[in-house]
């Protein structure tokens, strides 16, 4: 095979992989809510009101944020905690939410994509989805260029953006079926 034909084959392969990734994202973004499998646990598992915070240590894991290994996401504080065995905080970081917030409750990771284009047109990686709200997929992701800009308030977006480094940690931790606890 000549080098020009191998380059052509590589370009076709790359285009096919990009198309499949985009179609996968589009399909998951349009899953009806009744099929997205959010699994709310009993009210005693997650505090229905804003979980108490430690004012001296704002990055401390709030009480009332569930139990076991889990991702905890505070909608009000725009912060995530990755909680490992023994209630140990493996990592905590700030995020930039989309315009659509998930309701407080307990969910599980339902799908993941290594690279796709976000609903805002930004190339993103390490997408970890856990619910949908009125047809908008909600999950964590990192922009491939490392940016975390505020979302356009006129668009319905469910992407919760994190830095690339934090996105790497989320990708490693939040596999399919991992518990995600959303608190106020």
Instruction: List pLDDT tens digits, range 107-146.
Output: 999 999 999 998 888 999 999 999 999 999 999 999 999 9
The reported pLDDT for the residue numbered 9 is 52
Beta-bridged to residue 80, according to DSSP, are 73, 93
Strand runs (DSSP E) across the chain, as ranges?
70-74, 79-83, 89-94, 105-108, 111-117, 123-133, 136-143, 159-162, 179-183
The reported pLDDT for the residue numbered 107 is 98
Residue 182 phi/psi, 5-degree rounding, is -105, 125
The reported pLDDT for the residue numbered 181 is 97
* Beta strand 89-94 pairing with 105-108: unpaired
Domain boundaries 3-183, CATH class: mainly beta
The reported pLDDT for the residue numbered 18 is 47
What are the CA-CA distances from residue 45 to residues 23, 66, 85, 153 (Å)? Answer: 36, 5, 17, 32
* Low-confidence residues of the chain: pLDDT under 70: 1-56
| Residue labelled with tokens 């990192």 | 142
The reported pLDDT for the residue numbered 119 is 81
In whole angstroms, give the CA distance from residue 146 to residue 148: 7
Closest CA to 113 of 105, 102, 124: 124
117-149 CB burial, b ≥16 within 10 A, e <16: ebbbebebbbbbbbbbbeebbbbbbbbbeeeee
């Amino acid at each position: 095979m000549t080098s020009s034909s191998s380059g052509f084959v590589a370009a076709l392969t790359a285009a096919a992989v990009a198309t499949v990734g985009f179609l996968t994202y589009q399909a998951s973004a349009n899953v009806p809510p009744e099929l997205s499998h959010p699994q709310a646990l009993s009210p005693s598992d997650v505090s229905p009101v804003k979980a108490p915070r430690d004012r001296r240590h704002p990055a401390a894991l709030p009480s009332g944020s569930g139990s076991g290994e889990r991702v905890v996401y505070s909608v009000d504080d725009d912060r995530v905690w990755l909680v490992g065995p023994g209630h140990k905080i493996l990592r905590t970081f700030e995020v930039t939410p989309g315009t659509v917030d998930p309701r407080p409750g307990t969910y599980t990771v339902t799908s993941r994509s290594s690279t796709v284009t976000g609903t805002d047109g930004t190339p993103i990686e390490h997408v970890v989805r856990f619910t949908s709200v009125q047809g908008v997929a909600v999950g964590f992701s990192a922009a491939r260029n490392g940016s975390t800009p505020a979302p356009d308030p006129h668009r319905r977006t469910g992407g919760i953006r994190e830095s690339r480094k934090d996105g790497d940690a989320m990708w490693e931790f939040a596999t399919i079926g991992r518990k995600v606890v959303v608190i106020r």
